[in-house]
């Protein structure tokens, strides 16, 4: 994602801190409204959390 999170949106310096909003996009999306992208990112992050900690 960027310099702060890994590809699963987990913060690199704080364990079990997940960031699932527009702030994890590397360069800001710009252009069209990023609402659907943000919703998809939040859903994907939630699935990763469930798989990692609850499965």
Over its length of 55 residues, how does the chain's per-residue pLDDT go in tens digits? 557 888 889 999 999 999 988 888 776 656 677 788 889 999 999 999 999 999 8
* pLDDT score of 30: 63
Q: How many domains does the chain have?
A: 1
Q: Name every residue whose Cβ is closer than 8 Å to that of residue 44 and which is 6 or more positions away in sequence.
A: 9
Question: Helix, strand or coil for residue 47?
Answer: helix
- Residue 1 is predicted with a pLDDT of 56
Q: What is the pLDDT of residue 42?
A: 93
Domain coverage including residue 21 = 1-55
């Amino acid at each position: 994602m960027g310099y702060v999170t890994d590809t699963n949106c987990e913060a690199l310096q704080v364990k079990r801190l997940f960031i699932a909003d527009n702030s994890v996009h590397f360069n800001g999306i710009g252009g069209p409204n990023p609402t659907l992208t943000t919703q998809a990112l939040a859903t994907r992050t939630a699935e990763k959390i469930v798989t990692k900690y609850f499965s």
